[in-house]
Structure 1
Amino acid sequence: MSRPENVQAGRTLTPRGAATRARIVEAAAELMYVKGVNATTLDDVRAASSTSKSQLYNHFPDKEELVRAVVASRAAQILERERGYLQRLKSFRGLVRWRDALVQRNALQNGAYGCALGSMASELADQDDQARTVLAQSFVEWEGLLAAGLQRMRDSGALRADADPEKLATGLMAALQGGYLLAETAHDIRPMEVALDMALDHVRSFLTA
């Protein structure tokens, strides 16, 4: 679990220090999303966040620490967003709304940059075990939100008794992440739409009505 923004390495930050740290992390997150983690330099982050070299290194002594902070920040943001859609999921219509929101958000960039978590995972899985662990836990929680919603659908009788919420959730997550990747490569949202719609069709096959 990440530290609160006003706590760093065992010391409490001043409000000004916490604001500077948050500004650095947000600038780094945007750069790493667009350019990639490996292509983003600390000089890039310093310029984008309008901080001095001493300020940057005071908060993040090396790029590895900054990357881990970005991973934790992005994971928290995305999971908070997904909880808003999925914590009360109890119908197929709700799943369609979730699908539509993701597609519409990605369509704003023509699918160009993919999933923020998925993109970092592809770069960091073999580079930083701590970051990989946070990313893996985030995907588990995201998939768990889907599985819990599908379980509620089965419990209410909306899904047949032989539906497996966990397997269906895994299929939806695989379709989502694969769709993100194909859309990113093509700079076209259509592959993401197709992948998610096929996964939803599979869920639909278990509906009782």
Structure 2
Amino acid sequence: MDGTKITERGRLTRQRIIEATGEQILASGIGGTTLDTVRAATLTSKSQLFHYFPHGKAELVREVAEWEGRQLWEAQEPEIDDLGSWASWERWRSRLVDYYIGRGRWACPIGSLATQAALTDPDLERAIAASMQAWREALAAGVRRMQEAGTVDKTADPDRIATVILAAIQGGLILSQPERSAWPLEAALDSALAPLHMAINHEDR
């Protein structure tokens, strides 16, 4: 939708629809989220929904994916653009745990969408894959900065470490959800970050 043709009130309504849809997808999945359930949750009419999302549910879900991706990235800033010291990694870890657990988000929106996208929308699948790749590349870049600083063993594989970290986040959240506790996610992250302790310069901590 052309953002130049929408009023501020309309922009707020559109954003409210996106956020409510995101919550429904986290709770019920893409398949369990319909335009009717979105209408009921947001008290909007069918004509309103198609005014803001003329291509229907597929467009709405893609907008949710984009919004959730921005939210996740912003939650990791500014550390996601640094990660050149152990202190930066610790701050990044704390921000990430707070984003998920502190806000009561017991699942990763991007991870949840990734597991369902292949069954619903190839374009959405590609968009989410690109988002996950960008996340992995940012983490790998941080590992390389640590290597350049001499705080991580130069033989370590940054891409492999970044992949392990992402897998730990997704797995840790799955274990944290039924317990309603942060410790499984924290434990998974700590294990995934263990390679960064190799050849660490204690003055850099």
TM-score by length of 1: 0.84
Asked whether the 8 Å contact 2:146–2:152 carries over to 1, the reply is: yes
Change (3 A) 1:35 1:126: closer
Runs (5+) with no aligned partner, structure 1: none
Give the match for residue 165 of structure 2: 172
Change (3 A) 1:160 1:205: closer
SS in 2 for 1:159: coil
Which of 78, 81, 104 is residue 84 of structure 1 equivalent to?
A: 78
TM-score by length of 2: 0.86
Counterparts of 2:104 and 2:7, CA distance in 1: 40
Counterparts of 2:66 and 2:180, CA distance in 1: 27
**Could you list the runs of 4 or more consecutive aligned residues of structure 1 that deviate by over 6 angstroms after TM superposition?**
none
Asked whether the 8 Å contact 1:160–1:208 carries over to 2, the reply is: no
Asked whether the 8 Å contact 1:24–1:45 carries over to 2, the reply is: yes
Describe how 1:1-209 pairs up with structure 2 within 5 A: 6=3, 12-61=5-54, 62-108=56-102, 113-209=106-202
* Percentage identity across paired residues of the two chains: 38
In structure 2, what residue type is equivalent to 1:68? R
Deviates more, 1:68-77 or 1:43-52: 43-52
Residue 185 of structure 1, CA deviation:
4.5
Q: CA RMSD in A?
A: 2.3
How many residues end up aligned between the 2 structures? 201
Residue 18 of structure 1, CA deviation:
2.8
Residue 109 of structure 1, CA deviation:
6.3
Residue 131 of structure 1, CA deviation:
0.8
SS in 1 for 2:82: coil
Asked whether the 8 Å contact 2:151–2:198 carries over to 1, the reply is: no
Counterparts of 1:144 and 1:134, CA distance in 2: 15
Residue by residue over 1:25-58, the C-alpha shift from the partner in whole angstroms, topping out at 9 and shown as x without a partner, is 1221122223322222212211222322211122
Residue by residue over 1:162-205, the C-alpha shift from the partner in whole angstroms, topping out at 9 and shown as x without a partner, is 22222211121111122122223444433212211111122212
Asked whether the 8 Å contact 1:118–1:177 carries over to 2, the reply is: yes
